[in-house]
Structure 1
Amino acid sequence: MQTMIGVIGGSGLYQIEGLEGASWVQVETPWGQPSDELLVGRLDGVPMAFLPRHGRGHVQTPSSINYRANIDALKRLGCTDVVAVSAVGSLREDYRPGDFVLVDQYIDRTFAREKSFFGPGLVGHVGFAHPTCPRLSDTCAEAALAQGVTVHRGATYVAMEGPQFSTLAESRLYRSWGADVIGMTGMPEAKLAREAELCYACVAMVTDYDCWHPDHDSVDVAMVIRTLTQNAGHARGLVARLPALLGQDRAPCPHGCDRALDTAIMTAPDKRDPELLAKLDAVAGRVLP
């Protein structure tokens, strides 16, 4: 199998230096429209697709993003590995603005989003004890360290609904749970990537200390944008290093991300909803007839 890297991120990644044959393409999905067209090309001989999570110009809220269409579009294009670059607030003193964090666990506090490709008429349950791919996360950590940024491994991400930032009481609560960072877009993106049998890694860029920190002002948009702008070059550099680290030829994932549906489908073949079955052609075509 050939490696194809999918990158989900923000405005700082729109320009990927060295992306050969780059063009914006529209991908139709049975789940509706993705956030935007996808920038597709080749980097160091490896196919790559970039998807602006909020759309160019940041037009989608964390709750209005069509996460199912986004993941389906990446899968439909042939992506095998998805790297999600996200802005987060820090819930720890030692996770400072400007640091990069490789997430490996989530606490899902979202409530207004479609969280699964499966549903009535075709029920599926994937394992999600380990939500991100250790192999892909290791690769991202190596690429980030090569950029000279501070990198933290093994973090828990609280996904909140938003669009408002946390109250002080909420921020203190999440710290008491042992969470490390907080953001608004990590879920259900990671859940859907697992259902689509995609290796998924989350590179979280710390922009602020949320509102718990007594020595820092409460988070605001200007603070977030300022730190994101400063980190954009490092994020682009990280992405640029991925093709050489992952290689063109892709072996099966040693952690089974690409076989997540092997034992997930519960509905008997003769009871499956034909309409939902058709919509799952890209996501679950490997296991569904």
Structure 2
Amino acid sequence: MLDGQASDLRVFALGTDRAGGMATAAQILGGAGTGPGEFQRPTALSVGRDGLVGVFESTGRVHLFGRSREGELEHRTTFQFRMDIEDGCILGHHLVVTGLHSEHSGVVHLFSTAGEWVRSFGRFYDTDNPWVSETIERSLVTCLEGSDEILVAPLFLPEARKYDVLGNLLWWTEFDGLRPIYLAETADGMVGVGTPEDGYHGTIGVTGDVDGGIAILQVGFITRERRESGSDPEISTYVLAADTGEGALLGRDFGRIRDIDGKGAVLSRGVPFPTLRVITWPPSVRQP
């Protein structure tokens, strides 16, 4: 679990907490700071299939952790990329990040796990104004391990896309009935952003399970009252076929789905206090 408020990474052993109780972290790593393995504004956490753990910072730093011989998590290396990172994940031997890169255009940027730039791709809005592009193309990303494919969902556009690691667009799904933010280009070329008084929709999560063949997009309806009170947004959860992008609204207010695979799912809620919930599928629906 990545704790952005405390700026640390906490490792829990599943099955050690009591039902409805409080689990105790087996390890706490990181902490606020600028040194290797220390965090400033951490924004994303990802675990690769080989056990490599990545913590992504909005400042452009990426920290990688791996297992020691004793089985504990330990810091391996830290990279500083010349970009602002919105989100990130690990896909095989690639680090996949979204954000504004100072040298490479596109929404999605691939680096090797050795820190070398590989390629950039993805444009969601046709404009020559970098401020407009930076605002409207802010995106969340998740890596579909085992398929070399990537799910990308813009924060402020009602859509989701799937790419392969070469940058080929595999499908693009738009969602109807969502209320966007206001976006306008000012006379000096800057961007003005406004939010409707009666609320707007914004993407808050994207994940998927390649073995189960599903992709999940979660959209929050954010109102002034909920924002001022610190309440969680009303969440709409869409389930899509991972191979085609076709799908439908599953329901509302499940909580945020942080991860899902053939064994179960991890959900979270922010109020009345931050909570993680681990769900295990019954044996009859588990994937191999």
TM-score by length of 2: 0.27
Higher relative contact order (CA 8 A, sep 6+): 1
TM-score by length of 1: 0.27
Greater helix share, 1 or 2? 1
Greater strand share, 1 or 2? 2
